[in-house]
Structure 1
């Protein structure tokens, strides 16, 4: 299966986008690349880049992309549930664990989010601690805070403190 690559210089760092011919397979922050070369890309990567541009302009609230990702049944449930967290809002790891049917799996939800290869598209940055504090984010906590602030400034309502 052919694999394709494209880079997008977001306001908070370089994103590496990968895909098959039909679907996006990853959107991840990469460090240390200064002049990345992109490989000839299919339409789904160009569409992903366009949607990222719209997201960072504040014009896109939800991504609509063909995705391909693999994981355990639990991971797939968590990643699927992430898409139900509205733009500009947050939920807790506990609440997410409860929604996937296992309220005792808070740590497993966190570990699953850490393995999310489709950051922004599967918005794990919208998951915070039960006490309302920011917890780990693969792209760094400063990016998580930036993304939450960005969404708040474009959503038209203020997020109430959870706890």
Structure 2
């Protein structure tokens, strides 16, 4: 004899095996909309710097959600120096340090930050570094293929074997 409970278990077991189980909320409730991943057009990059010690300058790249919708962002973006007035990359891209942080949901106006460590180009021999003027940063939103320019005049090294930049995963401030 099959009971309602055993019938339910049989149907549930078959659905699980087929991968077709959908969990629903209260009757008539719509599922919550998925929060989309933040793209380059959702976030605006800026830089705040200033702290310095022993040939290092520490600052933060900040992404602010300037869209009118919530979106999710997390992990590492991309960061490098650019110069020449035309956005040409100067030296090596930033090294990624520390662990990847979990993605967070940003409502409009909220932000995430990545700590940046800049080594002074003067720490390296001129012949090795080949110092050159830097106009700013090329910054990539995590998982994006388009970049943003953030003004930050400094001196970089043309030699891409010299690593002047490192940064951490984006997280809430």
TM-score (norm 1): 0.24
Higher RCO (C-alpha 8 Å, min separation 6): 2
TM-score (norm 2): 0.23
Structure ranking higher in helix proportion:
1
**Radius of gyration: which is bigger?**
2
